[in-house]
Amino acid sequence: MSASLFPQHIIARKRDGHVLSQAEIAAFVRGATDGSWVDYQLSAMLMAIFVRGMSTAETVVLTDAMMKSGVVADLSSVRAPKVDKHSTGGVGDKVSIHLSPMIAACGVAVPMISGRGLGHTGGTLDKLESIPGFRVGLSMEEYRAQVAKIGCALIGQTKELAPADKKLYALRDVTATVESLPLICASIMCKKLAEGIDALVLDVKFGAGAFMKDKAKARELAQVMVDIGNAMGKPTRALLTAMDQPLGRAVGNALEVAESIACLRGEGPRDLMDVTYALGEQMLLLAGTVKTAAEARLRLEKSISSSAALAKFREIVTAQGGDGRVVDDPSRLPQARLRIEVKSATGGYVQAVGAMEIALAALKLGAGRMKAEDTVDTTVGFNALVKIGERVPPGGVIAVVHASSDAALVAARESVVQAVRFCTEPVSAPRLVDEVIG
């Protein structure tokens, strides 16, 4: 090995603020993959990147190297255009569950590899696994075959996919380098671009319940990811969407699946469907199957009114080993042992529904995990949540708590009462879709 590619040399160059070469970045990623860089060297490099940053060109090279550290899915046999959607995570964000079959019902393939919930944000995989029998651990061969056959697969990251990211993410978590913009972007994009997609739409959230609280920082994150995708030959767009109140009326795994099924039946909450349609429009536009957002909206609405999207979701659930009967009868989803209506003493116009307060309450109920090894209770959470701008009479229901113990039920009830704030004057519902980038 050339002395210029020794770990200590590359670390020192980034520590001193230099732009790294493609060979230097490749050596770092290779070291994370094959173990030739030990953990303390990888950790030092992560901190150097955190402190000094990376140019967009460096971040593109890093993403490409991480993507190629494992298998890149070959979906060339799938003739339909292949487009995925990724969200940076929020509270009650179950969009992927119903948007995927809507898009597939419109003739565009959706090869989607999702993650699990950690901290206050829920994970698509945990939600899907609340469906009895649903299997997210498909092999790459099964994944390819299912996308080719029915136009959609909803799976978790396999061992073959971007192994460098798994190693580096674990170290970022314990070295206080999670918030690094280039590392965030490379981690997200290397996995999405390894799926075998033709194009990508990103939902980058900002606000109290989002990973990025500040809109300007969320916009920066979105722009870098869009630049990466475009530079790697995958047309990419991002939507900035607000996350100051939970999305939809349900928070909790099985409860969110039930709400997604309601969306596919044309009964979804307005805010949730606004975000769903906005993302779906961009997916169909990037796929090249429509020329205008209006045309895309009509096709998406027809996928619901014709029940084609509902039928496609049933097909996906059945193909992945799940009980397809839940699509027609959501009561077959697992149910919490206890539930209680939370009522407002005073009523009024809903001024705020604290996304973080609701998320933390759901976490305490057992709906999420603080550590990767924690067990999730798929039955617990909230539904029937009120929305900003609604008028609630005195004694009106503001949420229903689903819990597994009496103590958790009482604590969650108090959390909801504190999270929902009222005023005496009418309040406008907030605009959720703020900006399209790319």
pLDDT confidence of residue 368: 81
Q: Are residues 207 and 156 in the same domain?
A: yes
Q: Are residues 310 and 342 in the same domain?
A: no
Other residues' Cβ atoms within 10 Å of the Cβ of residue 166: 18
Identified catalytic residue from 120, 144, 191, 314: 191
Identified catalytic residue from 82, 85, 86, 98: 86
Nearby residues of 414 by Cβ (< 8 Å), 6 or more positions away: none
Give a yes or no: residue 387 inside a domain: yes
Tokens of 292: 């205008």
Radius of gyration of the chain (CA): 22
| Annotation says 187 is catalytic | yes
Nearby residues of 433 by Cβ (< 8 Å), 6 or more positions away: 239, 240, 241, 274, 275, 278
pLDDT tens per residue across span 251-305 = 999 999 999 999 999 999 999 999 999 999 999 999 999 999 999 999 999 999 9
Q: Are residues 220 and 170 in the same domain?
A: yes
Q: Are residues 395 and 270 in the same domain?
A: no
Confirm if 231 and 60 have CB atoms less than 8 A apart. yes
pLDDT tens per residue across span 73-91 = 999 999 999 999 999 988 9
Give a yes or no: residue 263 inside a domain: yes
Q: Are residues 160 and 228 in the same domain?
A: yes
Comparing CA positions, the residue from 277, 244, 246 lying closest to residue 383 is: 246
| CATH number of the domain to which 413 belongs | 3.90.1170.30
Give a yes or no: residue 358 inside a domain: yes
pLDDT in tens, the chain (438 residues): 566 789 999 999 999 999 999 999 999 999 999 999 999 999 999 999 999 999 999 999 999 999 999 999 999 999 999 999 999 988 999 999 999 999 999 999 999 988 876 656 668 999 999 999 999 999 989 999 999 999 999 998 888 889 999 899 889 988 989 889 999 999 999 999 999 999 999 999 999 988 889 999 999 999 999 999 999 999 999 999 999 999 999 999 999 999 999 999 999 999 999 999 999 999 999 999 999 999 999 999 999 999 999 999 999 999 999 999 999 999 999 999 999 999 999 999 999 999 999 999 998 898 887 766 778 899 999 999 999 999 999 999 999 999 999 999 999 999 999 999 999 999 999 999 999 998
Tokens of 417: 């009462």
Would strands 83-87 and 199-206 be described as parallel, antiparallel, or unpaired? Answer: parallel
Give a yes or no: residue 438 inside a domain: no
Query: What is the full DSSP assignment across 151-163?
Result: SEEEEEPPTTS-H
Q: Are residues 173 and 238 in the same domain?
A: yes
| CATH number of the domain to which 14 belongs | 1.20.970.10
Angle between helices 56-67 and 22-34 (to 10 degrees): 40
Cross-strand pairs, 152: 110
Using the CB atoms, write b or e for 395-429: b if 16+ within 10 Å. Answer: ebebbbbbbeeeebbeebbebbbebbebeeeebee
Identified catalytic residue from 82, 127, 166, 172: 172
Give a yes or no: residue 217 inside a domain: yes
Would strands 110-114 and 152-156 be described as parallel, antiparallel, or unpaired? Answer: parallel
Q: Are residues 230 and 365 in the same domain?
A: no
Q: How far is CA 4 from CA 11, 27, 118, in A?
A: 11, 10, 38
Domain boundary at 327, 362, 388, which? 327
- Rounded to whole angstroms, how far apart are CA atoms 11 and 184? 19
Q: Count structural domains, the chain.
A: 3
- Rounded to whole angstroms, how far apart are CA atoms 364 and 72? 38
| Annotation says 86 is catalytic | yes
DSSP H/E element including 148 = helix 140-150
Give a yes or no: residue 58 inside a domain: no
Report phi then psi at 176, rounded to 5: 55, 40
Q: Are residues 273 and 409 in the same domain?
A: no
Q: Quote the pTM value.
A: 0.93
- Rounded to whole angstroms, how far apart are CA atoms 287 and 300? 14
Tokens of 39: 């953990």
Angle between helices 7-15 and 39-52 (to 10 degrees): 20
Cα–chain center distance at 229: 17
Comparing CA positions, the residue from 238, 298, 247 lying closest to residue 121 is: 247
Give a yes or no: residue 231 inside a domain: yes
Q: Are residues 279 and 350 in the same domain?
A: no
Give a yes or no: residue 246 inside a domain: yes
Nearby residues of 431 by Cβ (< 8 Å), 6 or more positions away: 242
Q: Are residues 151 and 224 in the same domain?
A: yes
- Rounded to whole angstroms, how far apart are CA atoms 392 and 157? 43
Q: Are residues 177 and 285 in the same domain?
A: yes
| CATH number of the domain to which 308 belongs | 3.40.1030.10
| Annotation says 172 is catalytic | yes
Q: Are residues 133 and 16 in the same domain?
A: no
pLDDT confidence of residue 157: 81
- Rounded to whole angstroms, how far apart are CA atoms 26 and 40? 18
Cα–chain center distance at 24: 31
Identified catalytic residue from 126, 165, 198, 377: 165
Tokens of 400: 């229903």
Indicate the SS3 state at residue 54.
Answer: coil
Q: 140 lies in which domain range?
A: 83-327
Tokens of 84: 């995925």
DSSP H/E element including 119 = none
pLDDT confidence of residue 161: 86
Measured at the CA of 274, the angle between CA 269 and CA 278, to 5 degrees, comes to 150
